[in-house]
Amino acid sequence: MYRTFALTIAGLALTGVGNAAAEPNIQGSFGFTSTAACLTAMGHVGDPNTSPPMANPTPGVALPNSGFNASLQPNDTPNSEAFSFSNAVEGIRTFDGRGHGTVKGTTVGITVRPTLGLGGFPHFLPAASGAEFSYKFTYVVHADRSWTATMVPGSYTETYTAGPRTGQTSTVDAIPPAAGMISEDGNTLIAAQVAPTVETVTFSNGDVHPQICHRSRVYIKLKDRDHDHDDDHGHH
C-alpha cells in the first residue's frame, strides 16, 4: 500500500513536464519575472545640434543608416545616435503540452541614453514607460530536459500604458529564440537568448527600431486553470 501511494505521488510530481525516464514535456502555466536591456540603432537624418526638429521622413520604413553592421555596431557609426533602454517584465507563459503556447505580460522600462539635441530625426528626451504585451510561440522539449521556444511571426502586440508613447502600439518581427532547461521536479524552467540577434520593432506612429537585446527568464509552475474550475478569477 505504501509503495503504491509513493509511486502515485512521484507520478504527480512530474505532471506537466513528462517522466524524467521517458520523454520530457512541458504543460501548463508558468509565472515569470525578469529584466532585459536593448541597444537600438534607428539611424538618423539631419543635424541633431543645429537643424530644427524633423518629422520621420520614412514612416513605417527603417532609415537607410539604421541597423547594425557585421560587428554588431550601429550602421551610423562613428557619430551614432544609437541609444539603450532597459525594462523589468512580469507575466505568464502557458504551454499546451503539444508544442504551442502563449505569453502575456506587463513591462516597465527606462530610456537612459536618447538621441542628443532637439533637431534632426529622431529626437526625444529620457523617459520611463509602461506597456502590456502578448505573443504566441512554438516550443520543443529535448530528451536531455532542455527546451527551446520560438515566437510565432506576426503574433507579437504591445500597447503602451505610460510614458511618451501612451496609447501607441507596436509589433516585433521576431523575438530571437530562447533556450533553457527544466528542473528535476519540473516546477522551474530557465531560458535565455543565446546569440545576439537583430529584431525590428515597428510602432503605430511609424517609427521603426532595429535593436539587439539580451533577455533571460526564470519560470515557476502555477496552478493550472484547467484543473481549477472553482477559481473563476484565477491567480495568473
Q: What are the grid coordinates assigned to 56, written together?
A: 520621420
Q: What are the grid coordinates assigned to 41, written together?
A: 540603432
Residue 42 included in any domain: yes
Beta strands in the chain (DSSP E): 27-40, 83-96, 100-111, 127-141, 146-151, 157-162, 169-172, 178-182, 188-193, 198-203, 208-221
Residue 228 included in any domain: no
Residue 234 included in any domain: no
Contact 137, 150 (CB under 8 A): yes
Residue 204 included in any domain: yes
Contact 225, 236 (CB under 8 A): yes
Cα 74 to Cα 40: distance, rounded to the nearest angstrom: 8
Residue 208 included in any domain: yes
Q: In the predicted model, what is the mean pLDDT of residues 97-126? A: 90
pTM of the predicted protein model:
0.83
Domain count across the chain: 1
Residue 157 included in any domain: yes
CATH number (domain holding residue 205): 2.40.160
What is the per-residue pLDDT for 184? 94
What is the per-residue pLDDT for 1? 44
CA-nearest of 200, 210, 212 to 66 is 210
In this structure, the number of other CB atoms found within 10 A of the CB of residue 187 comes to: 17
Q: In the predicted model, what is the mean pLDDT of residues 66-76? A: 97
* Range of the structural domain that residue 132 is part of: 26-222
Residue 59 included in any domain: yes
Residue 2 included in any domain: no
What is the per-residue pLDDT for 198? 97
